[in-house]
Amino acid sequence: MHRGLLLFLLVPALAAGYLPVTVEEVARGRVGPGLVRLWGRYLPFGDYTGLVRGVLASNRYALPLEGQVFDFSPPPGAYLEVWGELVQKEGTWLLRFHNGRLPRDDRGPRPAAWLREGEVQVWLRVYQAGGGIPETVGVSEDGLAFFLPGYSGPYGVQCLVGRLELGPPRALKEVRACEER
């Protein structure tokens, strides 16, 4: 029974490429760099707009984390799951925050790094960038940038379907909104 439940919980995480680990495993050096998912209490270093910067605490261990807000900004003191890239910075472990969720939220990681050329569906934070001739750009929760030539939809976090060209530059063409489910 427990094996079946464990497998049920691990398959979505492994399919998305994020290894489920604990803050203690990271602190004790039992985990190397890579994409991970962890549960803990988020303790921010301050009040930042559009930035996650603090620690994820679990029992007596804490892991520093930082990164851009994608579509979830962790409430201070909340118990939650976060995912991102575990890296070593100045001799200590750091989680480069990709996104997160509260316990009753059923979503998971939506990385774009595994996408291949052709028709794809991807979640992007869409905005305009550039000076004289602005370009529409989208950034995935795992930090990959996509040019969106000809995009005329709304800005903000969007689920988009289009034809991916890896470039350089990486571009999503013939873009349309994902169908409602």
Quick check: do 2-101 and 118-175 share a fold? yes
CATH architecture of 118-175: Beta Barrel (2.40)
Report the pLDDT value the prediction gives residue 180, as an integer from 0 to 100: 67
Domain 2-101 adopts which CATH fold?
Answer: OB fold (Dihydrolipoamide Acetyltransferase, E2P) (2.40.50)
Report the pLDDT value the prediction gives residue 131, as an integer from 0 to 100: 74
Report the pLDDT value the prediction gives residue 148, as an integer from 0 to 100: 96
Nearest to 160 by CA among 122, 105, 125, 132: 122
Mean pLDDT by 10 residues, the chain (181 residues): 41 65 95 96 89 94 93 92 94 94 92 90 92 86 93 94 92 91 53
CA distance linking residue 96 with residue 146, whole number of Å: 20
Q: Where are the domains of the chain?
A: 2-101, 118-175
Report the pLDDT value the prediction gives residue 89, as an integer from 0 to 100: 87
